[in-house]
Amino acid sequence: MSRTTLGFLLGFLGVVAFGGTFPMTRLAVQWFEPLFVTFWRPGLAGLMALALLVVLRRPIPGREALVLMAISTSCIVWGFPGLVNLAMTLMESSNAGVIGGILPMATAIAAALILREPQPRRFWIIAALGMAFVVGFAMRGGGTLQPGDVIMLVAVAVAGVGYVLSAKLSRTMPGWEVISWILVIALPANLIGMIWTWPPASGPGSLAGATPSALLGFAYVTVISQYVGFFAWNAGLAMGGVARVGQVQLLQTFITLIVAAVIVGETVEPLVWGSAVVVVALVFAAKRLAR
């Protein structure tokens, strides 16, 4: 297997890992409180990251890197996961998957604004069309944006900023090490949050009474979505090239819909599938125009 092919395979595994995030989060928050998942998900992942960094004796990053990591922490450790946890109590994961499909476009927009990467006018036109379509999709029911839709749109914007900052850091150190240090930086606050949201001994929200599906969802978003998924994704980008392997992310929306239907048992309407196709097509066009 060539290095490029292996890069595509690892990139696909990363996309599969992230594609299950919304449905698995919905399974988790059907039993656990959103705040519990918000702190325990990165807290447990942070303990795993700390152990790995200690075992491999990785040096502490420089001051500039630590500052960027601290800012990125607020986005991809608390902001995006916390908002998704809340949104999944208000909407189906399949609808969230369509809205989340514009994440690659949101990341490109964040890169243009934060890293000053210039984009042609055609890119901004396609980006505007993509955003408008997603908003229209969210408003298709009652003609207004529902709370869950607004939360998901904010979550996508927050994630785009966090991904750009972590990508900038990945230029100087391995991607797995970037996410590991980000989780470790957030660990002290997450440990406090874990104590604050300690689950009850019994009843709703307890570990002892949790359903197998809730435990599966929580374990997935903790180990795979928050941490291990980044290993395959970042390694794939490094081996196969960011521009080429990054195109695999276009499959993420469809993976989310499949997981929502097969594992969570949601009914994914034809309109949702059709909207996903339009969103992915717009994102593909925007990525082709991005410099």
Q: What is the pLDDT of residues 234-263, one digit of tens each?
A: 777 667 655 566 667 778 888 999 999 988
State the chain's maximal CA–CA distance in angstroms: 57
CB 7 within 8 A of CB 233: no
**pLDDT greater than 60 at residue 46:** yes
> 162 near 110, Cβ under 8 Å?
no
- Alpha helices of the chain — where are they, by DSSP H? 3-19, 21-29, 34-55, 63-73, 80-87, 93-100, 103-114, 121-138, 147-169, 175-196, 212-219, 229-240, 242-245, 252-259, 270-289
Residue 120 CA from chain centroid, whole number:
27
SS3 assignment, position 5: helix
Signed CA dihedral, 195, 196, 202, 206: sign only: negative
SS3 state at 8: helix
pLDDT of 169 over the 60 cut: yes
Asked whether the beta carbons of 97 and 257 are under 8 A apart, the reply is yes
Is 164:107 a contact under the CB 8 Å cutoff?
yes
pLDDT band at 214 (very low <50, low <70, confident <90, very high): very high
The residue segments making up the domain with residue 180 are 3-289
Query: 247, 29 in Cβ contact below 8 A?
Result: no
Distance (Å, whole) CA 232 – CA 249: 13
Q: What is the mean pLDDT of residues 85-94?
A: 90
Look at residue 37 in the predicted model and tell me its pLDDT. Answer: 93
Based on the structure, what is the number of domains in the chain? Answer: 1
